[in-house]
Chains A and B, each alone.
Chain A
Amino acid sequence: MKYFIYNANSILISSDSEINSDLIQVLSSLKSKIEIDYKEYLIDTVQSINSLLVVFDCNKISVDDFYIKVKSIKTGITKNKLKSKIWEIPVCYDTFYASDLEEFSKSKNISKEEVIQIHKSKVYDIMSMGFLPGFMYLGNTENRLHCERKLRPSLNVKKGSIGLALNQTCIYPQDSPGGWHIIGSSPLKFFDLKNELPCFASPGDKIKFIEISKSKYESIKKRTL
């Protein structure tokens, strides 16, 4: 792990090692330790694919002292790994919602059914969140689903849309312009300001997609309104 003083009140911890599920677990375990041990100094922690930014209150502790504290924490996978949550997310892959599935399957020369099968058969890590509040970057997808972003971004990707780009898949928590290939949609709410924690999941958790029918989608959607 590399430790870098990012500014007067934050430290960036990053890793050069291969990006995989283990690294994500190391980062989330380090994040939890910092959140427990140094709660009194913390303002924010931001976990991303291969790094962790720790923002603290520099009125309470100097950056040099906090740097020493953070650096002294042993990194590695702890029993935390066993506690990693897996969220089962219902997805309807019907082309009614999956606006790019047809074209994507043609461009890849894989049938639609196969794209769906490949997509739903893997458990994904939430590698980071950003772009929009609650937008999840999930990885890694299987090689056969790897793709560039769309040449022309859609101006209005619908809330709940499931996308593909590079070696990742994502969930749009709100309507937004976007360049990911949309291959399905989930009827759940992924960012709800009515809840104290607007997002049920966070980086380090895992996501498993469960295929549902169009009628099931509509009935869940009605209930979550």
Chain B
Amino acid sequence: MIKVIQPGLYSNIQDYGRFGYRNIGVPYSGFMDQESARTANKIVGNDENESLIEITLMGPTLLFNADYILSITGADFSSSINNDKVDMYKPIHVKLGDTLKINHSKYGARCYLAISGGIDVKSILGSKSSFKGITSSYFLKKGDEIKIINNNKPNFSFDCKSVFKIDSVLYVSKGPEFCMLKKDSLDMLFNKKFTIGVNNRMGYNFNEKLQVGLKSIISSPVLPGTIQLTPSGNIIVLHRDCQTSGGYNRILQLNEKSLNNLSQLKNGDKIKFKLIN
């Protein structure tokens, strides 16, 4: 069992996600940065889609009530165990009574804490991913006790060569309403930099605006990575917790790699969009 001494800004349990229920309005959820999360799982011998703890901007302080093997991947939050700095992207052995403090990130927005065995919470509609309205709890709170599954067959043969890097270019393809963009918008989209604004697991806003006055469409399916343009000219990139349909024009679609990358960008960071086939 792991006790939450301090929960951090927004730490929550995620696995690969909840698939097959989108038709009745259930979002996918799941790891924001799938690449980092899967690596964390592989390092501790878990299935790559196993549940773990996703940590956002400011990390938690956790007390271990048993011996565990952990790994931390993604952004560097300068973490320490009993005040000794720990390495990322390597198995970490902790003992009963140890305290892990995950601080805050200077480069990147999210890190992933995997525990060998995975997290022992109820799977709902095929997933342990936290989501308001589906799971009873959807972020860690002070005093929470996290149960861990006993790992009978750990496989630590994974040789991790990952290097954490953030790209300031987001790769996109044309969305269904791409043709609604005027020349000015196109010029701006693919030549200017955009600044990340308010963001969360549902979506990312940008500070710059494109053309104003585009009429809404009939509510239509959307996916994580869908880039919408609102009638007031705002751009929204939908992310893992996004709703299943929306009425804004779907101008672009972010690819999977860039979706992972976006989840490591912070408010104020600048990016460019690049159109690919």
Contact = CB atoms under 8 A, between A and B. Distances in A.
B20 A12 contact: no
Given A6-B176, A8-B256, A130 B225 contact: no
Given A128-B219, A193-B134, A199 B24 contact: yes
Nearest to A44: B22
B218 to A, nearest CB: 5
Contact of B25 (A45, A49, A129): A129
Size category of the A interface is 35 or more
B221 interface: yes
Contact of A49 (B125, B133, B219): B219
Contacts of B245: 46, 48, 128, 130-131
B223 A10 contact: yes
B221 A193 contact: no
Interface in A9-26: 10, 12, 14, 19
Nearest to B175: A6
Contact of A12 (B21, B25, B221): B221
B173 A7 contact: yes
B23 interface: yes
Contact of A133 (B133, B225, B253): B133
Given A129-B25, A130-B245, A14 B176 contact: yes
A7 B244 contact: no
Interface string A183-210: 0000000010100001100110000000
Given A4-B176, A46-B244, A49-B219, A129 B19 contact: no
B24 A129 contact: yes
Interface residues of B, number: 28
Interface string B144-162: 0000000000000000000
Given A133-B25, A198-B125, A43 B219 contact: no
A29 interface: no
B133 A46 contact: no
B220 interface: yes
A19 B134 contact: no
Contacts of B244: 46, 129-130
Interface string A79-121: 0000000000000000000000000000000000000000000
Given A49-B219, A198-B125, A55 B22 contact: yes
Given A49-B219, A51-B221, A129-B244, 9 more contacts: A6-B223, A7-B223, A44-B21, A128-B245, A130-B219, A131-B245, A134-B24, A134-B25, A191-B24
